[in-house]
Structure 1
Amino acid sequence: MTAPGAAAAPLSSPPSPDKIGEPGPHRIAHRGYSAVAPENTLPAFAAAVRGGATFVEFDVRTTADDVPVVIHDRTVDRTTTGTGHVWDLTLASLAMLDAGSWFSPAYAGVRIPTLAETLALLAPPGPQLLLEIKPPSALPEIKTIVEMVTAAGLHDRTIVQSFDPEVLRLVREAAPSVRRGLLRLRFEADTIPLTEELDVVCCNPSTADVLGDPATVAELAGRGVAVMPWTANDRTEWPALLAAGAAGLITDHVAELTGWSS
């Protein structure tokens, strides 16, 4: 694994298919292999590749000086030594923060990665990307993100997803050919109509929704929309989730899922 704070070279793994669910089940590393390394960092992404992920999932926000970076929360408080909203901080100020020691002293000095660094690490050949754009995100920011994905040679290997339908509308406006995915907190009445309107390839709800509403999973699958639930960390649920029609599982324990599904 790359040493904390060190520059990371691109990694490779056998190519995974372009179509969701062929073959399956997909093994989606939630914020990287976040059970063994600090979430949304280069060591977590490197570990995910080595752990057999077919997708690496991560979150993108934009700094005050318009640089896309990889971090989940609106603020840096939980996962770094700093405080404040990501959009109020410059890249230079973010680069000074320790994003690893909260997880383990072994990762002291790990930084919040830029999107450019993340794409370079995961450049093809490698796993597919499940890239979540976090709101608030305006059209210029979204254009920058999808242009970077294309420039890195990852256009055909990336699904851009969001909980916010407006973000997906902007993604479609910025780059109509980029695959889109709809995240859901739960299966609501507008789920099927939204998947049709937004022309998504996947709809990713909670594990509870997949287990509690297999009829909606089946309807989505029948419409060509894959369902990959989050966050599938309870290994006793894996068989039931796949039996309910999940095309893949988003999990913190991707290497364990690889071993289980082999």
Structure 2
Amino acid sequence: MTLVTASAASAAAAPSHAVARHGRLARYGLLAWILVSLILLLCSLNPQSAAAESTLRLHGALHREGPVGIISHRGAAALAPENTLSAMRVAIDQGVDFIETDVQLTADGVPILMHDFTLDRTTSGSGRVADHTLEQVKRLDAGGWFAPAYTWEPVPTLVEFVDLLGGAPTRALVELKGVWAPEQIASVVDLLRERQLVHRVALQSFDVHTLRMLQQIGPEFARVLLTREWDEPTVRLAGELQVSAVGARTKLYDERPELLDRLRAVGIGSLVYTLNSEKRWRAAVERGVDLVVTDDPVSLAEWRGPAPV
């Protein structure tokens, strides 16, 4: 009689346990749905969310355990007139890891590809870039100084470079030169977002203020600290700015080689500029630098051998 009563009580309790378990599952499901909805809402409202963060910003993303990475300087400056679309096409054809270019503003605020602050060295014009409108710059010959075959090669805009890059299987390092207002930086960031190049373009500068503004305006983009100083404060600054890499000349790395290990330990890569001989490439590799900037990506690629898959 006691056994029958216990069984009956157990049977009677079973439905109530099932109901309670179902209730808990329903509550958990509701909480999960609310959490996912909030995440999706935040991502839709904020393009700078973690979900949009560049893969180049991942810890150690620019480290090279195998063959050194190749950064083609100003397109391919030894093979075509620097910072022209012809130079960019040469670099793309070589399958480099990154194309490096410099961007500054015309008098009417248009970003163009130009390293020098004056037009004299690489165009048929003269005077400060910032004193010329885009229309004036576009009338200049930016290729004839290099070779007759490139006569009347134009100065490209950043938009033209981005359009070329969009269909290419490579990435880019874009240096912002000179002084940029927040709204001017925002225009570059917005352009790269619109072209869906967050994972393929890193923005770099020597100017700490510019990097801080980039950190605020385009936090999802990878950033590179270019430096003329190489010491403990530089390593700390790189960590504070949350950059993906630090770029410096060989001499600086040679003076404090132990700091490269410190940099690598916190997930930050290293690049060295601008090396154009086998002797200097070998020294950089032996030093443990991750990426080499060169004017001659063809020769460096031949020396390096096949790129890592």
Asked if these proteins are the same fold (TM beyond 0.5), I'd say yes
Q: Name the counterpart of 1:198.
A: 241
For 2:161 and 2:96, the matched residues in 1 are separated by: 15
Q: Name the counterpart of 1:83.
A: 126
Please state if 1:94 is matched with 2:94.
no
Which of 168, 171, 196 in structure 1 is aligned with 2:211?
168
Structure 1 contact 124–154 (Cα < 8 Å) conserved? no
Which of 178, 182, 185 in structure 1 is aligned with 2:228?
185
Please state which structure has a larger fraction of its residues in helix: 2
Matches within 5 A, 1:61-140: 61-140=104-183
Q: Name the counterpart of 1:225.
A: 268
Structure 2 contact 203–221 (Cα < 8 Å) conserved? yes
Question: What is the deviation of 1:127?
Answer: 1.1
User: Which of 1 and 2 has greater Rg?
Assistant: 2
Question: What is the deviation of 1:24?
Answer: 4.4
Matching residue's letter, 1:227: S
Question: What is the deviation of 1:120?
Answer: 0.9
Structure 1 contact 32–40 (Cα < 8 Å) conserved? yes
Matching residue's letter, 1:245: G
Structure 1 contact 27–54 (Cα < 8 Å) conserved? yes
Please state if 1:44 is matched with 2:87.
yes
SS of 1:56's equivalent in the other structure is strand
Once the two structures are overlaid, the 10-residue window that deviates more, 166-175 or 181-190, is 181-190
Unmatched tracts of structure 2, length 5 or more: 1-54
Please state if 1:54 is matched with 2:105.
no
Q: Name the counterpart of 1:20.
A: 62
Matching residue's letter, 2:229: R
Question: What is the deviation of 1:208?
Answer: 1.7
**Would you identify which runs of 4 or more consecutive aligned residues in structure 1 move more than 3 Å?**
none
Q: Name the counterpart of 1:14.
A: none
For 1:224 and 1:243, the matched residues in 2 are separated by: 19
Structure 1 contact 211–241 (Cα < 8 Å) conserved? no
Structure 1 contact 20–247 (Cα < 8 Å) conserved? yes
1:97-123 deviation per Cα after TM superposition (whole angstroms, max 9, x unaligned): 100111111110101100000011111
1:69-93 deviation per Cα after TM superposition (whole angstroms, max 9, x unaligned): 1100111111111112112211100
Structure 2 contact 204–226 (Cα < 8 Å) conserved? yes
Structure 1 contact 41–111 (Cα < 8 Å) conserved? yes
TM-score computed with the length of structure 2 as normaliser: 0.76
Question: What is the deviation of 1:34?
Answer: 0.6
Please state if 1:149 is matched with 2:192.
yes
SS of 1:205's equivalent in the other structure is strand
What is the identity percentage for the equivalent residue pairs of Structure 1 and Structure 2? 35
Q: Name the counterpart of 1:255.
A: 298
User: In angstroms, what is the RMSD of aligned CA positions?
Assistant: 1.5
SS of 1:228's equivalent in the other structure is strand
1:124-167 deviation per Cα after TM superposition (whole angstroms, max 9, x unaligned): 44211111000211111111111111222211111100000111
CA 1:185/1:157 → structure 2, altered by over 3 Å: closer, same or farther?
same
Matching residue's letter, 2:175: E
SS of 2:174's equivalent in the other structure is strand
Q: Name the counterpart of 2:49.
A: none
CA 1:66/1:195 → structure 2, altered by over 3 Å: closer, same or farther?
same
Matching residue's letter, 2:106: T
For 1:234 and 1:185, the matched residues in 2 are separated by: 22
CA 1:236/1:206 → structure 2, altered by over 3 Å: closer, same or farther?
same
Question: What is the deviation of 1:188?
Answer: 3.9
